Amino acid sequence: MSLPFSISIVLFLMLTGLISFLGYRIYARPSRLQQRLGSLEETAQPTVTLDSSGAPDGTWLVRIVQSIGEKVPISPQDASLARRSLIAAGFRSDRAIKIHYGAKIIGALVMLIAVAFLRSYIHNPVLSILVLPAGAMLGYFLPNIVLDLKISRRQERIRFALPDALDLMVVCMEAGLGLDQAIASVSRELMLTHKDLSEELGLVTLEMRAGKRRVDALKNLADRTGEGDLRKLVATMVQADRFGTSVADSLRTHSDFMRVKRRQAAEERAAKVGVKLVFPIFFFILPAMMVVAAGPGILQLFKGLFPLMRGAGGG
């Protein structure tokens, strides 16, 4: 089997898997969720999703991955760290850890098979031996990389949703609601626009209804997400509640601070654009401009010099 034919097969399989995945996520999965949960108009109030494993319970692939993850020996320390990361990414299901470790094992096997398939095209004997463990390690740690990306994106969504949530919370408290009722109201109102923050605030409300102190529930909120701005907000709310100051004024001040911080971050990114564009311009745009601008002149120069050089050589 030739190398171009093998590459074509691998690219075709990757494209087929990508199209199937996008079709499932965009068309099949939303229709199933709408059938199971009903339309938005029929929902009395938004609820907190505790099972966020990322796929329905009946999916055969999820069951296979979960069964493989159940066979993996996991220490309590590793399980605690993995659960903390999964909760920060929004996966609160009990089977999320099993699916995560099952995906690590399957990723290691898939990468090992792929590297073994391409090993015959590597002529260096030392490199052909090292690519096998390297491919297996890459496949094993790939779910961790994906999980870190999901955590960072979720934290970014929560960070961008905080100013709106704080403004709405200030309005609720100035209208006469207490802090607990304001958190519950904001959780309901933000379900459609900022789902991640709405779920986290809903969990805070559930913990307080279950009998946990407000301070502990808010600290659990900061620990679950791991977002720095949310930690500062929790510290502000706890201190305002402890010292008896106005929580609404503290939230309004913190909201203004976050908006100024977001604007300064945007200005900083805009100021860095000029420096970041130097390398693309130098390596991609400038050569094309030089070919277009100086190319005809260089061709005419060579066209005139070559006869002179041949004449000088013949003479």
Structure tokens that stand for 138 in this block? 């890459």
Largest CA distance in the chain: 104
Give tens-digit pLDDT for 9-28: 777 788 887 887 777 666 65
Residue 39 has pLDDT above 50, yes or no: no
Give tens-digit pLDDT for 222-244: 888 888 888 888 888 888 777 77
pTM of the model: 0.67
The rounded distance, in Å, linking the Cα atoms of 221 and 162 is 13
Q: Which domains does the chain have, with CATH numbers?
A: 3-22+50-153 (no CATH), 157-271 (1.20.81)
Contact in structure between 166 and 255 (CB atoms under 8 Å): yes
Residue 182 has pLDDT above 80, yes or no: yes
